[in-house]
Structure 1
Amino acid sequence: MRPPSRFRRVGILLVAASLSFSLAGCSAHSDSSAPGTMSEESSTDSSQQASDGRQISIVHALGTTKLNAPAKTVVALDRPWADAVLLLHGTLIGHTETYTHGQGLGDYLGDLPERFGADAVIVGTPREPDFNAIADLKPDLIVGARETSGAHYERLSEIAPTVMSEGAPATWKSGYLVLGKALGVDSDASAMLARYEEEAQRIGEEINTSASNPTISVLRFQNGPTRIYAAGSFPGMVLADAGLARPKSQRGGQNFIKVTVEQIADVDADRIFITTSPLGGERSMESFRATENWPELERRAVTADDTAWITSESLPGAYAILGELAHAFHVDGPVVPEGLMRYTGEVSDAQ
């Protein structure tokens, strides 16, 4: 594997600094920094801050908050945050269940849940967290997304220091830098992102060379309108990191495009990765299978892990996507961080 690009690491940090995050202290403390930026104080290494008595201070979507020392135990109210805690080897002591995937964490996480979250308990849902259960756990830090848990920020902050991200797919990388600072592993977090981007670029280059710059579509069947995930979605961003082309209609900044049975021919790409939601996905696919255009689509289709591609919005999920891309195009898969599942399955066609 090639060494991480110094310039790419700087780019990650600059992008992350422009997004909205914070670490909350036992109560929020406002300062003159504008939301969406990292304060000068927060840019110093958190282990140094802990040793010399200065607080860790980061601006987030709902204010500015501080930690007196790196956190050790974390409650995650959002799936991407739970993945990040585990990958950065924090101790996950509580997480929420999700509407589509229940109480389980993604298989792509390998043995990380057992190693760093074996005693984690369910603490409600992102929109309806169980405050008593969270308080009983006495976490050092609570992390969540503003769009789902933001209404509870003040109450959560009374329990423990709280972080609220914007929750949009565009912010998924910067969360690792914020959490790395909170856990006292700043350099590990930035290096981990740099290694991912190097692996994405390598895999994309090998795919483009071996398959003559193929176009990629991501199609999801679910309980509701079928979706093509475009450039502004999480899988769209991973594909962009890999330098893989999208059909022209999918290159805008939108998250997804709704597709009806009559529009199935519009799902145009050299390779189509198909995911199915556990809630009604198979039933939705049946109506598409009955169309005359389905055999042609199926010829170019590969089944994909719905949790990794659609709902993870995390670095472990991104590695899983790279693994499935690599196997679909018969190139070497990514070198993944310790503990993550290495994708070793055979390429399988959509059924």
Structure 2
Amino acid sequence: MTSSPSRPQSDAVAPLDRPDPVAAVLQAHHDGAPLLLGTSGSTGASRPVRRTTASWFDSFPVVAGLTGLGPDSLVWVPGPLAGTMNLFASVLTAWAGATLVDRLEAATHAHVTPTVLRRLSGLAGRHVTVAGDRLDQASYAAAAAAGARVAHYYGAAELSFVGWGSHEGDLAVFPGVEVSVRDGVIWARSPYLADVPTIDGFATVGDRGSLDGDRLRVVGRGDAAVVTSGATVLVEDVETALRPVARGEVVVLGVPHAELGQVVAAVLTDRADQARCRSVELPATHRPRLWYAVPALPRTSAGKVDRAALASLVHDGAERLVR
């Protein structure tokens, strides 16, 4: 059975339209008013998402327990509150009676994206929660070796928490969540869902993956694929293979081709990574046929790679590397 939200959005509180978004969420919870937030927009324009405050607040005790967050904690959240993960982390901090700080050096806890994590130093002794994009095992290992206690979660603005672990290869189903993988697509049912259409209580954002017991593997959004000469290549499969050997960042996308439909292309932030990435053994369908270099990857306000903007950069003349 499919359910669809039908209540008007006019009664919902849009925290980002208020002078203090965190206070607006806390007041909405006190008043029993719903929230109107946005998705990250990594594959297109941000969409409004309506949710109850309970869909956040019910998860707070679980997250606080997993991260050791308490009244004495000092929390650094460097990302903009327009990013749902950052607003959530800031409201969680207020709920726990903890204190937000403006620099990592003063913090006991931090909430960052994988990109920010890779740039940080002085992590020893701090609990760092990483979300907003996939955290690869190498980045986790580097942060852990620097003395950080790292946690990583998979979710979406519409679903909230789905998986929790130390990195993308170590995700367990989040407490209180039921996961079903149907035809390779991840569906979730939990008290943490936003006001989104469901089938028997399960909702999806189209991410693909697999489930083995309570171990969850996420391989990417269904539309993040390249169809080349009749073969479907999930870009995250290629990125997962290339990232361990790259020193900079690597993003894979499809470039239109008159005969093949699309070809696999790799965009690098370090030109020297081309040789390293080309040494990786991949099936013929998955090997990048085009290579590009950009000084930095375009990002959304939430800190995710803006794949639509990157595709435009490639189309409009990003530096093409000779094979």
TM-score, L = length of structure 2: 0.29
Higher relative contact order (Cα pairs below 8 Å, separated by 6+ residues): 1
Higher helix share: 1
**Which has a greater percent of strand?**
2
With normalisation by structure 1, the TM-score equals 0.28
